[in-house]
Amino acid sequence: METRGWLVTEAAARLSAVGLVDPRRQARRLIAEALAISQTELFGHPDHAVNEEQTNRVRALLDRMAAGEPLSRLLERRAFWGLEFVLSTDTLDPRPETETVVEAVLNRHLDRDRPLVFLDLGTGSGCILLALLSEFPNASGIGVDIAEGAVRTAVRNSVLLGFADRAHFFVGDWTNSVARRFDIIVSNPPYIATKALSLLPREVAYYDPWRALDGGEDGFCPYRKIAEAAPRLLFPHGIVVTEVGAGQADTVAIFMKVNGLQVEEIQRDLAGIARCVIARVALYGG
């Protein structure tokens, strides 16, 4: 009879053969989930036998992963900012570089007890807003997304993570249905040019929703809307922090300046890529 350890070795070899990074780690996580045990249990008892049903379950998931389906999509959840988020077909799979947006906000608001009010445009799973609420215990926020399924997923995450009393989500087309003012606007909008969507890696093109990727003809359509609306949606001390694609930061900064915002910084992610544009309401004489 096969064992847990044998399944890990088999899965790691197969994932390695298709070029996945750190295949053994991914194999352990896949198998632990399939067997409904912790990775600690899996690691500590590799000689435990697995039955035919368990083996078939592992191999069915392994087939999908070897074909290019991301592990996070198989498990329907992803860790972000130390929190675990449920995913759906209507939400992006949050990437580590998006944490740059959260870091940028934290770097500018050292007083974590402030009752800030956030607006998250294109909220998806709600990961940015909910990550910020985990850091600011007296803050609240609104998340907007055009996809009803994404809003349902974000609401579910707010409940699971214990932030439902401070986070509110609704269906809307960017800023069209938002009338109040906020301390901080955050966003990870679609920023891929329409013609480039077909060139995306398989794990993105096949499994992330195109609506959450398509930034219009040149990839900048959402940024124009955000920059135009930000001055009326921000308090005088407010800032807007938006993720950008590689090579887009300078152009997005121009949109901000044209609409009367003062670009404070372009922040790089851990890979050194200019990943996020931070702008604030320009004060008189500033």
Q: What is the CATH number of the domain that holds 107?
A: 3.40.50.150
pTM: 0.93
- Whether 17 is in a domain gets the answer yes
Is 31:55 a contact under the CB 8 Å cutoff?
no
Domain that residue 129 falls in: 79-281
Each residue's pLDDT, cut to its tens digit, for the chain (286 residues) gives 689 999 999 999 999 999 988 999 999 999 998 899 999 999 889 999 999 999 999 999 999 999 999 999 999 999 999 999 999 999 999 999 999 999 999 999 889 999 999 999 999 999 999 999 999 999 999 999 999 999 999 999 999 999 999 999 999 999 998 999 999 999 999 999 999 999 999 889 999 999 999 999 999 999 999 999 999 999 998 999 999 999 999 999 999 999 999 999 999 999 999 999 999 997 754 4
Q: Looking at residue 253, what is its pLDDT?
A: 98
- Which residues, listed in sequence order, are joined to residue 274 by a DSSP beta bridge? 268
> Where residue 59 sits, what CATH number does that domain have?
1.10.8.10
Same domain, 59 and 186: no
Same domain, 21 and 52: yes
- Whether 286 is in a domain gets the answer no
How far is 139 from 112, CA to CA, in rounded Å? 9
Kind of pairing, strands 167-171 and 140-145? parallel
Same domain, 108 and 227: yes
Same domain, 125 and 227: yes
Among the candidates 14, 40, 67, a domain finishes at 67
- Which residues, listed in sequence order, are joined to residue 182 by a DSSP beta bridge? 234
Same domain, 176 and 243: yes
Same domain, 176 and 215: yes
What is the number of structural domains in the chain?
Answer: 2
- Whether 117 is in a domain gets the answer yes
How far is 81 from 64, CA to CA, in rounded Å? 27
HSE-CB at 92 with a 13 A cutoff on CA atoms is 22
